[in-house]
A and B are shown apart, each in its own frame.
Chain A
């Protein structure tokens, strides 16, 4: 191990004076602490960003990782590929203060999560404990007691609800927050051994009575005691609801106080109790923990200095400073004594725990993570019974144990060649009209006039498109060299990927609804605005305005759609009481909610085009039709429609293409984390490429996208020619 250290020192010497880079996730968890440590060490550039993982994924592909990060990245995969530095040489060396071995400073078991083949790759600093938060002053005022068992807890919830207050706030937009509840119930019902078996995907570890009971308990809790409208709330919104007294309790990790620091009202008296175990349970008390791990990239310029930075922040003195300044537990021995008194509940949980469990201790199989996240939504909204869901988990586990099966619809190479030929024919159909005879452009002028735009266009648009066709035929993670994979990417997508079809289905929904809706609206309004008058011109200009706002418009609508936001308040004021907490952006209602926005932001453009086309209709013709006794309806069809038709079709086509390519609205409305049910092809592509590092499959997806567009274009050309 030592020799590696020397080798790095040798390789790293040109970068000696450069500052090392520490890239941190910043979500209210005290970036200043890390920046203070950076200044203390000197020559460290420390930056925090709430979207750090997205950025790092791109930088990894770029081959320029920072030295240290705590972002959430597919670390198990990165470790396998040798991108993460093993830390054993330093862990067995002295700690920062030189008072002992570095390894011995960590709480027992906390180094296990990212150990592979006897090497440790990640070290923990912040430690999270799950707890239920409440306001001591409020509990005192009502004479409520923290519950000892789950049953007492639900009875307490009933009592609270009788006072007209909601019992539990819940961060429903991120169903991940239900995971601690499920894990808690299963751990205490089934015991530590059975709990650990789930992570190993052992047969029968999901579809069993204890698991079904655990899911049942959580479902009951959600249906009866979660605050109304909570499924549409982000974590901050739900946490504010709790702090503002709209709900009496909140389940959250120990980062809660640090995250909501300035939002806790005076006299609130924050307190916490452990999630209560089911009554009659014999399992000794355990803490459900998670940890924030830090990693050093082996290909960064100065990995050794990165390790030094980690040694500094995990030293006892600095860890205590972090605990004091942020009021967060840490994974460093002895430092948690510094927690403030309103976190006594957390201290107690940590002290009384005889064991620990949770996702901080064991890694969920990546394949299961998606299954779980889809399942939680169904569980909380009672889409499916616990028995059905347990069965679903068991099936998913057995599929994962078996490994990828043969594709349902195997692709043959000749089919692919045929497909390509088809695409070419379609593309050829797209360029219809022959150029009439025109003079030839002399070369001397062509070089000046036509060559620069063509060169740029070919270089930065067409060649990459060709490159994509090649990449789609390879297996490629962006980190190592691509390998020829033939058609397996297409095979995987078309034959073996339910989420691809799901995303395609969502695209089809958008393609079916948005263009027709927008076109109908614009034709109707073009007719309504027909006689050209100043007032009409003004209105047309007004309707057009949102078309220029782009992303700003999307973000405004996100605010309008907030469950307690202006739109719902307005609807309630108009008498629709049941819309009080309607969750427009939860995955159930997301797609219909996109339609008003589409109309708002794309209608004006179509309207202007249609109006222009209508104004070309000669007025004599209209007058003649009226004199002949044609009804307004007949006037429209016989006189106006023929000149409107090409414009309408062209606009319809552009909207269709827009619906296939849609990305931004979904991406932003889901806070850049769409669930499987709401992906469109565009967002699925970004996730496949940059979150799952499967570039081959992602480009294959893009090729299919192109195929779809070309098919559409061909169909439309047909229509227009007729």
Chain B
């Protein structure tokens, strides 16, 4: 009974993915007529059209750059703030914590309109750096939430020993705590990266065009107008490839990191 349930669930996870992969390798009229069939003709032409179409490759490059930059910034800045909050008393400590807690639940929809005009005033509207700054700011609360647990759980003696040796908090953070918190950092980095890579709302309003989710949404509409879904299937496979590959290689770390965070936090 439980085997059956587990197997069905596994099938329902895998089947849509296999279907899209197969559909992307078939000529699209064939998919339209017989969506469940096994490919009669294998073709890569869908991938060629998708890659040739409207800057799909540049969407890819933009998305990767924005994801990489914001992830690094979020993880590093989040870690340093989490370290301060876990080990020290800051001026306005509880206010800071309150602000961060609010940030966890603040709907992006609330901030997006003022942000739009704020970025416009700074000349950052429609630029990648503007979006990177916004992604970083909105990712900091989550990063702090996850990392504070890691920093508090490191032994207090370590910290005291460092202080006795005349190590400044700055150096202690950089040379002792940051390397020790590596599992936590990688979990945070991965989750931030995945959520930014898939982010649609802010990119749509603040950047207008140029990231992969927008490119995909565009591709959906273009495919509908032209009645040719093959390029969309191919685009979807291409867009999901980095996430799937990353997960396939690092899944053990991701799951352990997540589980550790859950138990500590």
Chain A contact residues, CB within 8 Å of chain B: 26-28, 49-51, 54-55, 58-59, 61-63, 234-237, 239-240, 259-260, 263, 427-428, 430-431, 434-435, 437-442, 444-446, 448-450, 452-454, 456-468, 471, 525, 528-529, 537, 539-546, 548-553, 555-560, 562, 564-566, 569-570, 573, 600, 605, 608-609, 611-613, 615-616, 647, 657, 660-661, 663-664, 667-668, 671-672, 681-682, 685-686, 689-690, 695, 698-699, 701-703, 705-706, 709-710, 713
Contacts and interface: CB of A to CB of B under 8 A. Distances in A.
A541 B101 CA distance: 30
Given A608-B258, A668-B220, A62 B6 contact: no
A50 B225 contact: yes
Interface in B1-36: 2, 5-6, 9-10, 12-14, 16-17, 19-20, 23, 32, 35-36
Contacts of A701: 109
A616 B259 CA distance: 10
A442 B169 contact: yes
Contacts, number: 314
B109 A685 contact: yes
Task: Count chain B CB atoms within 10 A of each CB in A61, A453, A689 and give the residue with the most.
Answer: A453
Contacts of B117: 61, 467
A671 to B, nearest CB: 7
B201 interface: yes
Contact of A556 (B20, B118, B198): B20
A701 B112 CA distance: 12
Interface string B155-199: 000000000000011100100000000000000000000110111
A709 B195 CA distance: 21
Nearest to A558: B220
Interface string B82-100: 0110011111011011111
B218 A50 contact: yes
Contacts of A699: 110, 113-114
B94 to A, nearest CB: 6
B118 A464 contact: yes
Interface string B72-88: 00000110110110011
Given A430-B102, A612-B262, A702 B109 contact: yes
B240 interface: yes
8 contacts: A26-B225, A453-B81, A460-B115, A460-B133, A460-B134, A540-B255, A550-B243, A609-B262
A184 B232 CA distance: 37
Interface string B192-220: 00110111110011001100010011101
Given A236-B226, A457-B137, A573-B36, A465 B19 contact: no
Given A445-B170, A462-B99, A541 B251 contact: yes
B111 A468 contact: yes
B109 A661 contact: yes
B146 interface: no
Contact of B263 (A529, A553, A612): A612
Contacts of B243: 548-550, 552
Contacts of B204: 54
A664 B109 CA distance: 12
B35 A566 contact: yes
B32 to A, nearest CB: 7
A58 to B, nearest CB: 6
B52 to A, nearest CB: 16
Nearest to A668: B217
Given A236-B227, A556-B20, A566-B19, A454 B81 contact: yes
B138 interface: yes
B151 to A, nearest CB: 12
Given A435-B97, A438-B87, 19 more contacts: A28-B226, A240-B32, A435-B89, A440-B89, A441-B89, A448-B80, A461-B140, A542-B13, A543-B13, A548-B246, A551-B217, A553-B16, A556-B17, A558-B220, A559-B232, A566-B36, A695-B113, A702-B107, A705-B110
